[in-house]
Amino acid sequence: MSIIAARKDSAAAAKVAEEKQAPASAASPANTTTAQPASVNRPATRGQVDITNVRKSFGTTEVLKGVSLSVPPGGVAVIVGPSGSGKSTLLRTINHLEKVDGGYITIDGELVGYEVRGNKLHELREKDILKQRTHIGMVFQSFNLFPHLTALENVIEAPIVAQKRSKAEARKRGLELLDRVGLKDRADAYPRQLSGGQQQRVAIARALALDPKILLFDEPTSALDPELVNEVLDVIRELAKSGTTLIVVTHEMGFARDVADTVVFMDQGQIVESGTPQDIFANPREERTRSFFSKVIEPAFNI
Ligand SMILES: Nc1ncnc2c1ncn2[C@@H]1O[C@H](COP(=O)(O)OP(=O)(O)OP(=O)(O)O)[C@@H](O)[C@H]1O
Ligand SMILES: [Mg+2]
C-alpha cells in the first residue's frame, strides 16, 4: 500500500516518497538472492528503518526527546542504556504500539501508523495499522505465547488468520521455522512443556512466520536462566546473518559487541551516541556513555 504516493503536497510526504524509491530500485537483486539459504550472508534489499525526531510523553514526562536513528536494510542495531531511558518505548513506536507526539518513522519509505493529509499526519485506521504490523515482528522479554496452543499452532496462527494462508502451507512453513530455531521435534509441545529458552525460540519462529521486513527484540533473554541465554542469542546471531533488519534492546554487552553493526546508547530519552561496537565500547566520546559502561561491563571485558 502506498500511503504516500498520492499525497506529495507536503515536505514530509516528499521526503518519504523520495526515500521510497530506494528499495524499489533494488528490487531485482532481491529476486536473485531470496533463493539462497537463510544462513548465508546475502544483500538485504528491504527493511530500511528511519526514525526522525520522534518525541513521546507520558503525561507531563517526556520519555523520548527527539530521537533520530536510521537502520539500513539487513542492519543490526543494538540499543543499550539505563533503565527508564526510553528503549522499550522507542521500540514500541516502531510498530506503533505507542503513538508518537512528534516526528515520524518510516519503513522502506512508508510512514508507520500515520498518513499525510494536507500538511498533517493523521493516524491510520486500526485495520491499516494491523496490516502494517504484519511487516514488523516483535519478540518480548516475556515470550507471550498462547498457552493453549502448541508450538506449531503458535507459529502458524498469524499466517492463517492475518494472511489467509492454507493450513497445510502454514504448517509446512511453520515446521521449517521451528527447524530453524532448533525445535522441529517439539512442534506439538505446549508452552508449559518447554523451557524458557525454548519458548523464546518459538516466539522468534512466530515472529518470523509473517516474513517481516524488520524484527524488534525487547530484552529477549532477560527473563531466562543464565544457562538458557546463549541458545536464544545464537538464534538471533543466525538471523543477523540472514538479511532481516534487526533492532535489539539488550543488556547482553558481549552479544552487542559481536553482532551489532551499530550500538546505540540511550539515556534520558535521547540517543547520546551511536557507532560501531568498537566506537561505543572502546572509544566512547561522551562521558555519560563511559560512565554507563564502566558500571555494566566486567573489568575483564575486552573489545
Ligand atoms: N505506559 C506508560 N505510562 C507512563 N509512563 C510510562 C509508560 N511506559 C513507560 N513509561 C515511562 O517512560 C520511561 C521510559 O520507559 P521505558 O520502558 O521505555 O524504559 P527502558 O529504557 O525500556 O527501561 P528498562 O531498561 O527498565 O526496560 C520510564 O520513566 C517509564 O516509567
Ligand atoms: Mg525496557
Question: In the prediction, which pLDDT does 42 show?
Answer: 53
Residue 292 has pLDDT above 90, yes or no: yes
pLDDT band with cut points at 50, 70 and 90 for residue 49: very high
Check if the beta carbon of residue 30 is closer than 8 Å to that of residue 46.
Answer: yes
Residue type, 30: A
Whose CA is closest to 234, among 264, 204, 263?
A: 204
Distance of CA 5 to the CA centre of its chain: 25
At 27 the pLDDT is 34
For residues 165-188, average pLDDT:
96
Q: Ligand 1 centre and the CA of 84: distance in Å?
A: 5
DSSP three-state, residue 15:
helix
State CA 274 to chain mean position distance.
Answer: 17
Tell me the pLDDT tens digit for each residue of 225-252. Answer: 999 999 999 999 999 988 899 999 999 9
- Give the number of the atom of ligand 1 that is nearest the alpha carbon of residue 249: 22
Read off the pLDDT band of 296 (50, 70, 90): confident
Pick from 38-47, 52-61, 115-124: least confident: 38-47
pLDDT of residue 37: 36
Q: How far is the CA of 35 from the centre of ligand 2 (A)?
A: 36
Res. 110 pLDDT band, cuts 50 70 90: very high
Q: Which residues' Cβ are closer than 6 Å to ligand 1?
A: 58, 63, 81, 83-89
- The residues near 264 (Cβ < 8 Å, ≥ 6 apart) are 69, 77, 78, 79, 80, 271, 274
The Cα–Cα gap between 130 and 27 comes to 25
Closest atom of ligand 1 relative to the 219 alpha carbon: 27
Place of cell 507520558: 58
- Ligand 1 atom nearest residue 91's Cα: 18
Q: Give the whole-number percent of the chain exceeding pLDDT 70.
A: 83
Strand partners, 218: 249
* Amino acid sitting at position 90: L
Compute the distance between CA of residue 8 and CA of residue 11 in angstroms, rounded to an integer.
8
Q: At what angle do helices 167-180 and 151-161 cross, to 10 degrees?
A: 130
d(CA 266, CA 56): 15
Mean pLDDT for the chain overall = 86
Kindly give, in sequence order, each residue whose CB lies less than 8 Å from that of residue 124, ignoring residues fewer than 6 positions away. Answer: 3, 113, 114, 115, 132
Q: What does the CA dihedral 37, 255, 84, 103 come to, rounded to 10 degrees?
A: -40
**Amino acid identity of 216?**
L
The pick from 55, 78, 87 for probing ligand 1's pocket by mutation, whose C-beta has the most ligand atoms within 8 angstroms, reads: 87
Least confident of 36-45, 52-61, 76-85: 36-45
Residue type present at position 161: V
Q: What is the pTM of this model?
A: 0.85
d(CA 252, CA 219): 9
| Residue in the structure block whose three cell numbers are 504516500 | 4
C-alpha 88 to ligand 2 mean position (Å): 4
Ranking 40-44, 179-183, 193-197 by mean pLDDT, the lowest is: 40-44
- Tell me how far apart the alpha carbons of residues 55 and 105 are, in angstroms, rounded to a whole number: 11
